[in-house]
């Protein structure tokens, strides 16, 4: 992995959904900090083997991409930590929407051999969080995106990047509409399943669990819980209100 000085410098777009960046001390930001503590404890308990963490959901529109971005930001705020946020949703990539400028190169460019890791990596302010998006200027110029990720090449790439980071947060597509998500769970160290309170049908959660390796499941992220419900639920995650959902 290239040093921070070798990669492109990036900036966050002003998006209210990035609560870990814009409202770190608020209620939602606090819940991501609690999750950071728990992930760090689990990493220690597993002898440091927990690095790559997949964020997925049973269906679309449940806020997984927002959770992935906020979690990556929060993890990178820990002193001495280095984090990579990687967009692995080939069908509906969204991580680039949180960046001020769409990168010139993305993950598919790396996997296809069109660029190096360093050329696709965007270093965010502070130098402790890197981003590799899926969408890129290269993809936009008519090259398109595949229907499925080349998982074996991606597995090798994640293994090569793992020594450079404390955590790699992988934004995956939803489990039920796609085949990629289950494969991503298989090649990563752990998985977090995002469900939206009052929206995600229980049968969908059951089917999603049946479609993945449950030995990799770290836990659930309950999204969209009203603050008045905080006494009932342990975590509250930001409710994604924007029309363009993952």
Residue 131 β-bridge partners? 85, 122
Tell me the pLDDT tens digit for each residue of 200-234: 999 999 999 999 999 999 999 988 877 654 444 43
pLDDT of 25 reads 74
Grouped pLDDT means (10 residues each) for the chain, 246 residues: 55 88 80 94 96 97 94 95 95 92 90 90 93 72 60 96 97 93 96 93 95 94 72 40 42
SS (H, E, C) the chain: CCCHHHCEECCECCCCCCHHHHCCCCHHHHHHHHHHHHHHHHHHHCCCCCCEEEEECCCCCCCHHHHHHHHHHHHHCCCCCCEEEEECCCCCCCHHHHECCCCCCCHHHHHCCCCCHHHHCEECCCCCEEEECCCCHHHHHHHCCCCCCCHHHHHHHHHHHHHHCCEEEEECCCCCCCCHHHHHHHHCCEEEEEEECCCCCHHHHHHHHHCCCHHHEEEEEEECCCHHHCCCCCCCECCCCCCCCC
CB atoms within 10 A of CB 186: 14
Domains of the chain, each with CATH number or no CATH:
4-10+26-229 (3.40.50.300)
pTM of the entire structure? 0.86
Rounded distance between C-alpha atoms, residue 128 and residue 72, angstroms: 10
């Amino acid at each position: 992995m290239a040093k921070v000085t070798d990669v492109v410098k990036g900036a966050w777009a002003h998006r209210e959904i990035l609560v870990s960046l814009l409202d770190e001390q608020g209620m939602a930001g606090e819940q991501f900090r609690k999750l950071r503590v728990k992930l760090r404890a689990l990493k220690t308990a597993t002898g440091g083997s927990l690095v790559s963490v997949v964020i997925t959901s049973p269906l679309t529109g449940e806020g997984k991409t927002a959770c992935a971005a906020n979690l990556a930001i929060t993890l990178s705020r820990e002193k001495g930590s280095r984090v990579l946020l990687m967009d692995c949703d080939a069908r509906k990539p969204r991580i680039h929407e949180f960046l001020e400028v769409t990168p010139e190169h993305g993950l598919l460019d790396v996997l296809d051999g069109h660029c190096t890791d360093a050329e696709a990596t965007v270093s965010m302010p502070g130098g402790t969080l890197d981003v590799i998006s899926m969408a890129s200027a290269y993809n936009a110029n008519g090259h398109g995106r595949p229907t499925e990720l080349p998982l074996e090449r991606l597995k090798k790439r994640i293994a090569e990047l793992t020594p450079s980071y404390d955590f790699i947060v992988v934004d995956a597509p939803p489990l039920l509409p796609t085949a990629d998500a289950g494969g991503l769970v298989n090649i990563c160290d752990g998985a977090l399943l995002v469900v939206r309170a009052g929206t995600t049908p229980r049968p969908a959660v059951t089917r999603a669990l049946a479609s993945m390796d449950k030995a990799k499941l770290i836990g659930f992220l309950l999204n969209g819980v009203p603050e008045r419900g905080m006494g009932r639920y342990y975590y509250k995650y930001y409710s994604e209100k924007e029309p363009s959902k993952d």
